[in-house]
Amino acid sequence: MDRLWEAIGRSAPRVKLRVFSAGSCTHPEWVTIRGGSLRSVRIPALFACIEHPQAGPILFDTGYSDRFFRETDPFPDRLYRMVTPVRFEAGQSAAERLRASGIPPESIRQIVVSHFHADHVAGLHDFPQAEFLYEREALESMRRLRGIRAVKRGFLPGLLPGDFDRRARPFAPESRIEVPEALLPRFPFRRVTDVLGDGSLLAVDLPGHAYGQIGLLLRTERGPALLCADAAWSAAAYRENRPPSALAGIIMPDRRAYADSFRALRELHEAFPELTILASHCPEAERLYAAEGAPL
């Protein structure tokens, strides 16, 4: 994977990566993974804290917060809560998890948003000093939706802070970098986005599950990692080629794009076994990394 950074001409600093959980939801297992059982399973909402040597702590998503319940009280937003039962207890928000780990929430100045589903942005209100970095399409497409259509796509507008637009920093076109196939032939993405301009955080397009969804490639002291958001819901899914059921496609704006993104994860896993791929709802990732909060 180091050849990726050589190919884009960046000598990127290495970062520390810590994974936390912020609430969870439940679904029948067969919905989340092909061949799953009929039993209901717990699905964690993970977020990451990236400790950058110059920029300080940066978040990748935020998971749930108690604000989710306030926003899903009225109809039709209540349908979201009915279809996706959420479990959240005091002390489980991203801000509280960070504070308990010695990271003051007010020290967070940047949050990379993978996509704008409620289980990824419910904690944005808790970080009043942060700028929001994201793919422009991810939000613009959501904001065109109203009522049931918004609920179907997992969007709750009230989860965005009132001053969101003032702090919004969608990726600039000039931050795109083409990756020559000749230099990295087994890398499935021909374009990356240099989020900070120093090569430390490289966003890759993983659309399908949501409009404009991105994953984030980075290098830690232990090796390269990809935060893949919801391009897969577990490590077992991409390792064993077991995507979610067709029913899960109801919330997806583009099932074909999802299949392409899922295929890209499988190609990455096979071509670069040293790459740690972290899915945002993976119980295995929660058990291995979030339980202790140790840096990867």
Beta bridge partners of 276: 225
Structure-block tokens of residue 143: 């904001």
- What values do phi and psi take at 231, rounded to 5? -65, -25
What is the CB neighbour count within 10 angstroms for residue 82?
8
CB-count burial class (<10 Å; 0-12, 13-18, 19+) for 144: exposed
Q: Element (H or E) spanning 136, and its range?
A: helix 136-143
In whole angstroms, what is the distance from residue 145 CA to residue 201 CA?
30
- What values do phi and psi take at 21, rounded to 5? -110, 145
CB 251 within 8 A of CB 154: yes
In whole angstroms, what is the distance from residue 141 CA to residue 249 CA?
18
In whole angstroms, what is the distance from residue 182 CA to residue 55 CA?
33
CB 155 within 8 A of CB 172: no
In whole angstroms, what is the distance from residue 251 CA to residue 258 CA?
11
pTM exceeds cut of 0.75: yes
pLDDT per residue rounded down to tens, the chain (296 residues): 888 988 887 778 999 999 999 999 999 999 999 999 999 999 999 999 999 999 999 999 999 999 999 999 999 999 999 999 999 999 999 999 999 999 999 999 999 999 999 999 999 999 999 999 999 999 999 999 999 999 999 999 999 999 999 999 999 999 999 998 888 889 999 999 999 999 999 999 999 999 999 999 999 988 999 999 999 999 999 999 999 998 888 889 999 999 999 999 999 999 999 999 999 999 999 999 986 666 78
pLDDT tens figures, 78-111: 999 999 999 999 999 999 999 999 999 999 999 9
Structure-block tokens of residue 289: 């990394």
Q: What DSSP character marks residue 196?
A: S
